[in-house]
A and B are shown apart, each in its own frame.
Chain A
């Protein structure tokens, strides 16, 4: 079975701590017994393999045991964290969820049926293979998020090789490919996963000190916040061996500063996409933006300056968009890269997409929403460089008739906050003269520098 290799690891480490959650330690023995509990329950309730199961949860002992049980039972798991609360109904509809599991703040689980029938051809293909599935969401170009279906048997293949056993902090999200990668890397090596109630620098550093965390996978934005907060000076971070970062372009100055502050720590860049998973990588040095990526099951090539990846573990496809693969099966990442021998430097998206702290914002989604407001004639959404989150979202709006600017700006931001995830809400809203727009032949989004 697909997770037998994990069961073997767990059985070898029964008394070792698998998960730290709310400052309590849970052993591999506990994880194994909860996995068995959920397996029996899925069988007892007659949940058919191939059923699409929504898993509303964050990293916790029950969430992890349940995810493993759903995989072992051959269902399609769709993890959703509180971070996507505003889009939850849309995501459940897109994934055509049939059954919902909700793990609450006390780590108790409730189960309820949903009204959808999961009859997508890609689900049929997965059921024909008899393999478990995983659906993850990533930002879509038109504002509709893309639902990405993985064959979990392929996704897990790279974890069957035992690697290093490191105490690791669960910083990245439970419903992101990078968070899933952290989870399976830790479980497949019988290591300890330390979860945190929030991701502020003080909370993270406190957990590193208390549980002697060795690997800290984070974002560039987190490292900026860490430096600003000074939390690294208030806690003993001497246990750290690796800081891994990815998902947004890291300014060289931040990298150099971190290398100075953490002289004994190897700082390495990770690269992955929701469509193909996380690649193995090696940075040239801790303070270098140059990285070698690949590893078993992955091939890379650069076409017209854009990185393409061919992956054994690539997704089956999008549930709600056409295939993004080339005819010969390569995934076009959209990331512009510079090549120097075996090493690459990743410059990020060659498009209008705005990267806010590692989260992608497509201007059209925000524009379409603002256009629904009364008195809006036109709107252009663009990114502006910011030293903390990489970029911020800005909107230039022209009005149909004059309106008091402070009230209007508050109205735009309030409406966006109701309908968008927080990082997509424009930080700057400027009211602009309509003429400036009408003289332009087409909408030109200012590019951040």
Chain B
């Protein structure tokens, strides 16, 4: 299983790629605590969708991992995995552990 920190670095790369496309008020800071969506979050729906796609693409490019992050599994969780950079990294870690064990 990958270190949480590696996954966070991949998410930072997604932030770097996405930021220039976002209006200034939606740009994301590279921090594990950065809120992506929900209370205090900066992204709107299209911003969130773009971030998730950028994250999926960076996972493929940088770690050869193919994952669909925005799917029914993610949507049906009581606590959204898209709350912060850290919760998303944790969720990705869990999904990878599942696929390694399963």
Binding site for B on A (CB under 8 A): 200-202, 221, 224-225, 227-231, 234, 251, 253-254, 257, 357, 386-389, 392, 406, 410, 413-414, 417, 422-423, 425, 427-428
Write out the residue numbers on chain B whose beta carbons fall within 8 Å of the beta carbon of A425.
46
Closest to B41 in A: A229
Write out the residue numbers on chain B whose beta carbons fall within 8 Å of the beta carbon of A230.
38-39, 79-80, 83
Stretch in B1-9, B48-56, B89-97 with 4+ CB within 8 Å of A: B48-56
Cα(A336)–Cα(B5), bound, Å: 47
Cα(A417)–Cα(B20), bound, Å: 12
B53 A234 Cβ-Cβ under 8 A? no
12 contacting pairs across A/B (C-beta < 8 A): A201-B38, A202-B39, A229-B39, A230-B79, A253-B75, A386-B49, A388-B49, A388-B75, A392-B49, A427-B46, A427-B50, A428-B57
Known contacts A386-B49, A392-B53; A234/B39 CB under 8 A: yes
Closest to B74 in A: A387
Closest A-B pairs by Cβ, 10 of them: A229-B38, A228-B80, A387-B70, A427-B53, A387-B75, A387-B71, A427-B50, A388-B70, A253-B72, A422-B46
- Of B21, B39, B46, B57, the residue contacting A389 (CB under 8 A) is B46
Write out the residue numbers on chain B whose beta carbons fall within 8 Å of the beta carbon of A410.
20-21
In the complex, what's the smallest C-beta–C-beta distance from A172 to chain B, in angstroms? 15
Write out the residue numbers on chain A whose beta carbons fall within 8 Å of the beta carbon of B70.
386-388
B49 A227 Cβ-Cβ under 8 A? no
Write out the residue numbers on chain A whose beta carbons fall within 8 Å of the beta carbon of B21.
410, 413-414, 417
B44 sits at the interface (CB 8 A): yes
Cα(A358)–Cα(B61), bound, Å: 31
Identify whether the interface residues of A are mostly helix, strand, loop, or mixed. Answer: helix
B53 A229 Cβ-Cβ under 8 A? no
B76 A228 Cβ-Cβ under 8 A? no
B45 sits at the interface (CB 8 A): yes
A224 B75 Cβ-Cβ under 8 A? yes
A231 B39 Cβ-Cβ under 8 A? yes
Closest to B71 in A: A387
Cα(A406)–Cα(B52), bound, Å: 17
B76 A428 Cβ-Cβ under 8 A? no
B53 A428 Cβ-Cβ under 8 A? yes
- Of A202, A228, A392, A422, the residue contacting B82 (CB under 8 A) is A228
Write out the residue numbers on chain B whose beta carbons fall within 8 Å of the beta carbon of A423.
46
B45 A388 Cβ-Cβ under 8 A? yes
B46 A251 Cβ-Cβ under 8 A? no
- Of A225, A251, A253, A414, the residue contacting B45 (CB under 8 A) is A225
In the complex, what's the smallest C-beta–C-beta distance from A320 to chain B, in angstroms? 28
Write out the residue numbers on chain A whose beta carbons fall within 8 Å of the beta carbon of B41.
229
Cα(A254)–Cα(B74), bound, Å: 12
A225 B37 Cβ-Cβ under 8 A? yes
Write out the residue numbers on chain B whose beta carbons fall within 8 Å of the beta carbon of A200.
44
Cα(A249)–Cα(B17), bound, Å: 31
In the complex, what's the smallest C-beta–C-beta distance from A116 to chain B, in angstroms? 32
A228 B37 Cβ-Cβ under 8 A? yes
Known contacts A228-B37, A229-B37, A229-B80; A254/B46 CB under 8 A: no
Write out the residue numbers on chain A whose beta carbons fall within 8 Å of the beta carbon of B37.
225, 228-229
